[in-house]
Structure 1
Amino acid sequence: MNSTSLKLFQGIGRYGVLLALLALIVFGWLRYDNFLGTFNVLSVLRYNSMFALVALGMCFVIITGGIDLSVGSTAALGSVVAAMLSPYGWLPGLLGGLAAGLAVGASNAFIITRLNILPFIATLATMLAAGGCALLLAENQSVSVSYESGFTELGQGDFLGFPIPGWIALIAYLLGSVVLNLTSFGRTILAIGGNEDAARLMGLPANRVKALVYLTSGGLAGLAGVILAAQFGAGQPIEGVGWELFAIAAVVVGGTLLTGGVGSVGSTLAGVLLLGLIFNILNFENGLGWISLSAYWQSVIRGAFLLLVVAIQARLSMRPEEAA
């Protein structure tokens, strides 16, 4: 991709998603009663905090030029482990779900950086393995959490009038933005995505940074699983199906190149909110009775968004003679 196309796509990603998000908010405010009411706003933020955490990890992975297909199964596994440990208190439940995610992330890191397996194949394998472990631990059923230990506050509670899951996601994104933009670790991530061989020739610790990126993605997915269990009152061994597609769509809609080297944490969050609001608007439309769309339309919309943005990326990356 030449410099002009790169700058153009960065502009589309960073400002286009923000303009689309703003337009969607204005549309919902004008069309629906209570769209910007406290209950609806906080509900959207509470529910989408799980996807925001998964998308943040995916953002770092895609910037390196990789992919992590295991995040949905990892979140499901984290939710089951957290639910099983919830009777011992909120902290063991939190740490257990996080540890489950880190274990999957560590497996991805080892397979990709030590065994030199392509990220697509490596994370596909761990996706299947994590999903199987979740079903085995849960015995193919939901695992109820303890309501007496305070664990459910992690998903259902508020702090200073703002959902606790929202605080967790907000802190994660602030830290992620600082890491990507203000640290040598973040610059190395961008360098690996731009040209991994060149990064190695410059003496950058490419393997170590990639390993930490996949470890982070797994940990964030496990944390999302903890929120899932706390929010819905049960560990859900099959709930994470399709989460990886939501995360990829949110990241790419936010302007991160699938080929790596370019990405923004803030735009990824905007992508998550944009997709979340689209589904929220569908619910409002169903309530008005003008249309009747099932939840399966969410997958259709995710696919359409992903196809559109990838098509734009491919068009911008074409050489002038190819585009003619």
Structure 2
Amino acid sequence: MIPFSILDLSPITEGGGVAQSLENSRRLAIAAEENGYKRFWLAEHHGMTGIASAATSIVISHVASATRTIRVGSGGIMLPNHSPLVIAEQFGTLAALYPGRIDLGLGRAPGTDMRTAQALRRNMEASSNNFPNDVVELQALLGPVGDDQKIIAVPGADSNVPIWLLGSSHFSSHLAGVLGLPFAFASHFAPDMLLSALEIYRERFTPSAQLDRPQVMVGVMGVAADSDEEANYLFTSMQQSFVALRRNARGRFPPPVRSMDGLWSPDEKIFVDHAMRYAVVGGPETIRRKIASFVDLTKADELIVSMPIFDMEARLHSLELFAEAQRSLGA
């Protein structure tokens, strides 16, 4: 069976705070390592009262310092928000602190609303259009120093931190293929182009110094519990959060409810159900069946699971159940 990894947003729950959210990420990473997960990635979001991972490289260090073997990285850094040199220095520093364990996943979305994106990027159009060039520049800054290289990242140069491209469209799948980089598709919230994007990536893939064959990671929302009923109950936190996102009423991550009736309109239910098309929610047998079906559909090399669960103990239990499912499917 393919490796499983974890995508964490350091959710700030209703009644909780940033410090507790970051401690929860640390606990989740320790548990992921103990249960055999391959990677633990954190995502860059800004201006969101329910997400604590805005300073992503700092949170990566916070998590990596508590673990010993699991790979830790970004899923992703929104590169147009930053200069390539700054990211090379940050991840070169992380690579020096935690040798052989750091990944650099890159996205080109702002990871926020447009007003906050303007404050981050200043020049929105130039930042987005420069993404392919910025990726190539970042690769050079993290690679060996050339004879005539004028700008050197210190730390960063010759750290060779592995770069992944993240995406939910054909743009990043094409670019990842052309550059010979591993590709992660955000099917955990954007399912529409999943299969066509993977096809484009595999068809366009050109071997590179980093990678000699296509490498695909696919994302799922995952909520496992002892029964389907309990898992569906826990999943209502994510459903409420997506309804709030559609209404542009972002807030802290809400506790689960016994029924979503009256909390969403018919159109909002359709929107959430569509976005969560590939969500793996259920008891042990249900998640095994859904995982096997999704892996067979995508032919992915790795599965990365985001576990949007309000209660930390339930989140840890879900992590354990997914690890058990992975082991049973691989037996």
TM range (shorter): under 0.3
Relative to the length of structure 1, the TM-score reads 0.26
Bigger helix share: 1
Bigger strand share: 2
